[in-house]
Structure 1
Amino acid sequence: MDRVAAAFDAVPRTGFLPARERRHASYDGPLPIGHGQTNSQPRTVDDMLRLLDVRPGDRVLDVGAGSGWTTALLAHLTGPTGSVRGVELEPEIARWGSANVAAAGMSWASLVAADPDVLGLPDHAPYDRILVSAEAVTLPMDLVGQLADEGRMVVPVNGVMLLVRRSGVETDLSEHGYYRFVPLRRG
């Protein structure tokens, strides 16, 4: 079994859904988690994780972490030698997501409420990998600036999934299909 499939087996979606949605955990589509937000479609999360190519020991930022499912999946991929920081703008969902991540038992992962005036967590940068589970209108340069040298970011921009690779001051972009997400926003 490959690493991404193993992460999905180790971190079931069910524990990261509201009680009313848990019976739909195997549905390959987005599920509502409140405040107009969703738990992303498993096939989309799988695609994003494969593009991100997380390695053991990586420092990872999870933007739009929601219920904490992607944060926990990323933590499984980094293992205990890595670290994963999830950020979520909606305070109530951030509290719930933080509790879900804590219940997953991976002490190297955390989820916090995002500062509405700041995109990402620049005080903890640089990150080897950044996953963005919300759609930007333009490439979020604030997040590109938080990538480490040789870092990778996966972000939907205007419906197109982008893989951003940073090498020194150079940034390489490639497109990887069309997807729909809730909007990436600040307060």
Structure 2
Amino acid sequence: MLRQALNIPNLLSLLRLAGVPVFLWLLLGPREDGWALALLVFSALTDWLDGKLARWLNQMSRLGQLLDPAADRLYIAATLVAFLVRGIVPWWVVAPLVLRELVVGVCLVVLRRHGFLPPDVTYAGKAATFVLMYAFPLLLLTQGGSAVAAVARPFAYAFTAWGCVLYLWSGALYVIQTISAVRGAARTPVM
């Protein structure tokens, strides 16, 4: 059991989780945006790689199914908070995304209370995470008055807008899945 849990994809997810406090420190402590950007890109690459390796090496596990989205959500939440504190994004961008996380968290509690596992990750959820993982490094690149910042700015804003819409849509899909599951369980007669 432990051997199955300590596979390469899960170790990559644990490495991503360990990078979150370092990422926050880089952004909020010494404001080393270059290193924070590198860590964010590394996180996105290992996010992609752990899924590919899990399928390729046939090392999919329940722990991996929990770790991967947890790492994604933690990076997204940490990035949003750090960007808000630094003034990189306004509160009205952060608030709906944080609210989405709280709503999804409530859905998970409701599902567990009714004996359900968390719903499968939807394509919209994967796409939202993918787009936001592009938006965040681009938003970091927009800091300052350099030519790189000027070029990155429209792309950063476009990816941020599209990622936010997809992220909220995927949250709505989780709510719909939760309601359907709970209603279906309520209609099923107990024998």
The interval holding the TM-score normalised by the smaller chain is under 0.3
Higher relative contact order (CA 8 A, sep 6+): 2
- The TM-score with structure 2 as length reference comes to 0.27
Instruction: Specify which structure has the higher proportion of helix.
Output: 2
